[in-house]
């Protein structure tokens, strides 16, 4: 009788263990799916502006989320998820450079221009701006993308990029300044952009 009792307790322990386990597994899955759905667009765009290449950006995002899945337990604050993911993506991108030496200035303009055939004025303008953003030095374009697209403050960007806040603000100023200059050098575009 006693043996039977003992057996039952072991059975109970065995029974609760996997369900606990699968529960946390399910929670993790739900968290992950929510992260993917909410942030994959931002991540992709960020990757795109970092690499100027759609395919590479997609690969980076995939690699980033795969790493995120493995390390998901270390993400305690959901609000920090986006900057956490961006940090992973930047690290992945740096790793890509370690793998093969790739000269940043070698990017081809053709890869920036997107190939949508319908060209409304808005799209022409967007394309022109994209081209100009892509021509910014990466140290200027990266904080600009984080600020405009990511909505991060100067302080946030400074900590994400491991830079001094003043440096970040200067770069942001220069980035916009250069873009404005470029606009003014092309009267045609100035007309399109300013008359709208």
Partner 1 sequence: MKDSTMSENAMPASKMDDLEFRRNIYAAPSRQDKDIIAAQKADPAKKKLAQELCQFDEKLKQAMKVPVPDDLCHKLLLRQTLASHQQEKRKTRFHLALAASVAIVAGLVVNYLQFSSSYTNLGDYALAHVYHEANYFSNNDNTRISLTSLNKKMTTFNGNFNEPMGELISADYCRFDGMKSLHLVFQGLTDTVTVFIVPKAEHLAFADKFSDDKLQGESLSFEHANVLVVADKNESLSQWQNVINDNITWSI
Q: Does 149 participate in binding partner 1 (rule CB under 8 A)?
A: yes
10 Å Cβ neighbour count for 84?
A: 22
Residues near partner 1 (CB under 8 A), total: 41
Per CB under 8 A, the list member of 48, 84, 88, 160 interacting with partner 1 is 48
Mark residue 125 as left, alpha or beta (left: phi above 0; alpha: psi -120 to 50; beta: remaining): alpha
Q: Nearer Cβ to partner 1, position 54 or 96?
A: 54
SS3 per residue for 58-93? HHHHHHHHHHHHHCHHHCCCHHHHHHHHHHHHHHHH
Quick one: tokens of 109? 């303009």
CB of 5 vs partner 1, minimal distance in Å: 28
Per the CB < 8 A criterion, the answer to whether 146 and 157 are in contact is yes
Quick one: tokens of 55? 């395919």
Pairwise CA distance, residues 68 & 74, whole Å: 9
Per CB under 8 A, the list member of 31, 53, 56, 58 interacting with partner 1 is 58
151: DSSP letter:
-
Per CB under 8 A, the list member of 22, 23, 122, 164 interacting with partner 1 is 122
Binding to partner 1 (CB under 8 A) within 170-189 occurs at 170, 172-173, 176-177, 179-180
Per CB under 8 A, the list member of 147, 160, 161, 163 interacting with partner 1 is 147
Binding site for partner 1 (CB under 8 A): 32-33, 36-37, 40-41, 44-45, 48-49, 54, 58, 61-62, 65-66, 69, 114, 122, 125-127, 129-130, 133, 144-145, 147-149, 153-154, 169-170, 172-173, 176-177, 179-180, 193
């Amino acid at each position: 009788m006693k043996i039977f009792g003992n057996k039952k307790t072991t059975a109970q322990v065995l029974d609760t263990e996997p369900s606990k386990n699968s529960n946390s597994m399910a929670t993790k899955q739900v968290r992950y799916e929510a992260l993917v759905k909410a942030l994959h667009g931002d991540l992709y765009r960020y990757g795109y502006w970092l690499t100027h290449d759609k395919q590479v950006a997609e690969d980076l995002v995939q690699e980033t989320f795969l790493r995120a899945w493995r390390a998901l337990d270390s993400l305690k604050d959901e609000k920090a998820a986006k900057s956490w993911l961006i940090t992973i993506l930047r690290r992945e991108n740096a790793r890509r450079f370690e793998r093969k030496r790739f000269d940043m200035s070698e990017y081809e303009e053709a890869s920036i221009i997107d190939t949508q055939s319908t060209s409304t004025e808005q799209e022409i303008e967007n394309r022109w701006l994209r081209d100009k953003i892509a021509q910014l030095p990466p140290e200027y374009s990266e904080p600009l993308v984080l600020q405009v697209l990511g909505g991060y403050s100067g302080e946030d960007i400074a900590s994400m990029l491991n830079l001094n806040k003043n440096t970040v603000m200067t770069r942001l100023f220069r980035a916009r300044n250069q873009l404005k200059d470029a606009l003014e050098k092309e009267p045609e575009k100035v007309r399109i952009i300013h008359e709208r």
